[in-house]
Structure 1
Amino acid sequence: MSRELSSLESVTTLHKQLTNEELDLSQQLAKAERRKQTRSLFLTLPLVCFILLTFAFPILEMLHRSVDNSSVVNALPQTSVAIVEWQAGSKPSDHVSNLFAQEIKALYLAKTLPKLANRLNIEMAGMRSLLMKTGRKLSKLDGEAVSYAQLVAIDKRWAKAKYWGAIKNLNSSYTSHFYLSALDLKVDESGSIVQQVESRRIYLGLFYKTIWMSLVITVVCLILAYPLAYLLANLPDKRANLLLIVVLLPFWTSLLVRTTSWIVLLQNQGVVNDLLVWLGVIDERLSLIHNTFGTVVAMVHILLPFMILPLYSVMKGISPTYFRAARSLGATPRIAFTQVYMPLTLPGVGAGCLLTFILSIGFYITPALVGGRSGQMISNMIAYHMQTSLNWGMAGALGGLLLVLVLGLFYLFNRVVGINNLRVGG
């Protein structure tokens, strides 16, 4: 009996030792894994910081500017609160008019009124001249209260509700007006969302034009790139490498140089027109530049390698035995290519089309130089607001809408690729 008890105790002791050793081993493995993750984190930390500083933070800043309206509220703090009681069908009270007049006068004397006038002029055309005139007249008055009638006497435009409505619509620190303007909408004096006047409906047309041109560029690039990528994937390595160097050659040339070269080729007295006239194909020179055609041609040339490379990488990984197996089972070359080979290249087609489309909707140098006024895209309007009009809120809103469009495309692409993978796996 004692011998059995001692054997049981030995087994129990051995089990405890093994359990302790397993716990120690698992703790050591967990510690080693944590050490490995910490090392990886420190190695990638500089890249993460670089991406945050140069990519994420600027995007967040522009998105904030697209809804920021603090300049109006900070400039007219008392008016922004008091004007809430005003209704579009009535005239502002003397209390509201006096607060507004005193704040406009203070801003004019402090020489900060132009900043507010520029912001309100974006909301309502003519506000800059109206505010500067009002501030100049009010600066000559002493400290007495200013009534609504006195403001109307300074300028009759103050009798119109739309100017007071523009101030009331911007009485919050955050606004959606930039996004509404990007969709050719506005808020009227009564607070209702309505369409812009026809002469100011420009952004939706540019969005449609940008999407349409990007689709055309993507389709043309796909038609040109697919047979070339197929040739690259099926040529002997020596010849394929030489041809691949030719495909990559445009990357070694500046984008500005390539764009300028197309201007030389396509202009009215350019090489293409000279050649067509010399061959007798045309009698009058064609307009090949400063229009949509010139933009599409130049951008197809620039973006074609971005379509070829994803297609080539996918086609290179497709085994030729699939094609031969289909032929051995009785399929004709056309059926074997369309029903066996082409479905296997769809991931490359999707990646190339997505990359080309996203790059094309963001181009602004080539459309600006080659396209002229009729060949410009929405990115040119974003550059205009950032560099010329200095309306960063509008630029941020247009860029935000483009960002939503790109993210939507990524989501759809991932959904389509995921569904195709499930079908292939099934």
Structure 2
Amino acid sequence: MTAGQDSLHHSSALHADNAPSAGEVQAERRELRRRRRISLLLVVPLLAFIFFAFVAPIATMLYRSVYNPTVVELIPKTVEALSDWTTTELPDPEAFSAMAGELKQLATNRQAGVLAAAVNRAHPGASSLINSTARKMRNAQGEQLASGSVQLLRDADPRWGQPQIWHAIKTVGRAYTDTHYLTALDLDRSPQGEIHVRESARIYLQLYSKTLGIALAITVLCILLGYPLAYYLAHAPRRVAGMLMVLVLLPFWTSLLVRTTAWIALLQTNGVVNSVFQAVGLTSAPLEILYTRDATIISMTHILLPFMILPLYSVMRGIDPTYVRAALSLGSRPWSAFLRVFMPLTLPGLSAGSLLVFIISVGYYITPALVGGTDGQMISNIIAFHMQRSNNWGLAAALGTLLLVLILILYWIYDRLIGARNIKLG
């Protein structure tokens, strides 16, 4: 055996001795599976929280925006009789008979008000029509309901002779419908199925545009106020920066309701702001600031300003000051070095703060409701109105879904123009 063959044989023997056995391989696999199970168990609470607090509510909102079973559950026979009716004339007597019988049953069960509220959203004035007719149908006999239901309903109220009320009942009688989305977009559908712009009550698109305008104004003001303060905090001595940071974080330690109420005291007609303006001679009469759009912008800028300062401060603290000094040593002027060297390095923090402030302000509810008045209301206040007062959950879900889609579109545009990967919170 040559020396080379002996060396090869020796290395092969050493490799065979160092190779793990089958038992060791299985033990390593079991240990790997055990670690994976432990990792999964640690993540399960977070996944459950995300599902119940985020995924499930959004899925429910999307479902409720197109699912509206109230009317079809109350008057199924009438909805069935109107399913094939598409003309501008009155429906068949079967629809009248079904409607009269089901109104009698609803009056007995005291559920006519639910039907009246549902139909009234599609046809204003239907609430009084259905409630009054249901009271009159309560004493109607079975023969009258079977043979003379057409005349019986028209005698109860002449409006049953108008096709518009029947088209409204057919529209709200669909279990799955896009009516809420059409309403949220200020659109309407004709009896022939054509979609057209609503001639009256065109309010929701204006609310969306006003909400975006208010959110954009708040974001710009937060940038103008937060950027210089974050720059000073990043370059100030440690003790001074710590004291100022306490003032920045102070709003987080105060209740949102208390902060909003304080702005009411500041901005009211005889409040602090007007008193100071009149004392220094800036105005001769009190300014009407409270319950306006300006009041919403001012108060929300104060509330959301820390969300702009903190990302900017954390990014500015990580910028090496030698970059600016190198630019100055190469002949650049201070403003040129700031704009061409320092500011581009702060864009990740600036984009993160802007995105935070904009998205939070779009969905804000409490502050506009308290200080905004009619002029300062945002789309979130209308969603809350339909959820709490009008009980039109389908329209509220459609408005919320469109708001979510709008935010996602804006985020996609932001990602295409700037890049979401450039966002940094620290």
CA deviation profile, 1:264-305 (whole Å, cap 9, x unmatched): 111111111111112122111111111111111111110100
Alignment partner, residue 160 of structure 1: 162
Cα offset, 1:328, TM superposition: 2.4
Alignment partner, residue 276 of structure 2: 275
SS in 2 for 1:186: strand
SS in 2 for 1:290: coil
The one-letter code of the counterpart of 2:162 is K
Q: 1:8 and 1:248, CA in 2 relative to 1: closer, same or farther beyond 3 A?
A: closer
The one-letter code of the counterpart of 2:174 is S
Alignment partner, residue 188 of structure 2: 186
Cα offset, 1:156, TM superposition: 1.6
Cα offset, 1:10, TM superposition: 10
Question: CA separation in 2, counterparts of 1:110 and 1:72?
Answer: 15
The one-letter code of the counterpart of 1:288 is I
Question: CA separation in 1, counterparts of 2:378 and 2:404?
Answer: 15
Cα offset, 1:196, TM superposition: 2.5
Alignment partner, residue 379 of structure 2: 378
1:391 counterpart = 2:392:
yes
Question: CA separation in 1, counterparts of 2:282 and 2:97?
Answer: 74
Question: CA separation in 1, counterparts of 2:71 and 2:164?
Answer: 17
SS in 2 for 1:345: helix
CA deviation profile, 1:67-101 (whole Å, cap 9, x unmatched): 22111111222222221221232221112221222
Question: CA separation in 2, counterparts of 1:137 and 1:419?
Answer: 63
The one-letter code of the counterpart of 2:193 is G
CA deviation profile, 1:173-214 (whole Å, cap 9, x unmatched): 21111111111122233322222333x111111111110011
TM normalised by structure 2 equals 0.90
The one-letter code of the counterpart of 1:287 is E
Q: What is the 5 A alignment of 1:138-157?
A: 138-144=137-143, 145=146, 146-157=148-159
Contact conserved, 2:386 with 2:395, CA < 8 A, in 1? Answer: yes
The one-letter code of the counterpart of 1:340 is V
Cα offset, 1:116, TM superposition: 1.6
Q: 1:313 and 1:33, CA in 2 relative to 1: closer, same or farther beyond 3 A?
A: farther
Alignment partner, residue 176 of structure 1: 178
Deviates more, 1:362-371 or 1:210-219: 362-371
Q: What is the 5 A alignment of 1:336-375?
A: 336-375=337-376
Cα offset, 1:13, TM superposition: 8.8
Structure 1 residue runs of 5 or longer lacking an equivalent are 2-6, 422-426
Question: CA separation in 1, counterparts of 2:156 and 2:123?
Answer: 19
Q: 1:10 and 1:104, CA in 2 relative to 1: closer, same or farther beyond 3 A?
A: farther
The one-letter code of the counterpart of 2:402 is L
Alignment partner, residue 52 of structure 2: 53
The one-letter code of the counterpart of 2:165 is Y
The one-letter code of the counterpart of 1:161 is P
Cα offset, 1:410, TM superposition: 3.2
1:224 counterpart = 2:252:
no
The one-letter code of the counterpart of 2:236 is L
Cα offset, 1:356, TM superposition: 0.2
The one-letter code of the counterpart of 2:389 is T
The one-letter code of the counterpart of 1:395 is A
Question: CA separation in 1, counterparts of 2:338 and 2:8?
Answer: 72
Question: CA separation in 2, counterparts of 1:172 and 1:307?
Answer: 46
CA deviation profile, 1:123-180 (whole Å, cap 9, x unmatched): 1111111111222222222112144343223222122221111122234321111111
Contact conserved, 1:165 with 1:190, CA < 8 A, in 2? Answer: no
Q: 1:85 and 1:231, CA in 2 relative to 1: closer, same or farther beyond 3 A?
A: same
1:410 counterpart = 2:393:
no
Contact conserved, 1:152 with 1:159, CA < 8 A, in 2? Answer: yes
Structure 2 residue runs of 5 or longer lacking an equivalent are 2-6
SS in 2 for 1:280: coil
SS in 2 for 1:173: coil
Cα offset, 1:24, TM superposition: 6.2
TM normalised by structure 1 equals 0.90
Give the aligned length.
Answer: 416
Contact conserved, 1:88 with 1:165, CA < 8 A, in 2? Answer: no
Give the superposed CA RMSD.
2.6
Deviates more, 1:344-353 or 1:39-48: 39-48
Aligned identity (percent) is 48
Q: 1:17 and 1:91, CA in 2 relative to 1: closer, same or farther beyond 3 A?
A: farther
Cα offset, 1:26, TM superposition: 5.9
Contact conserved, 1:185 with 1:193, CA < 8 A, in 2? Answer: yes
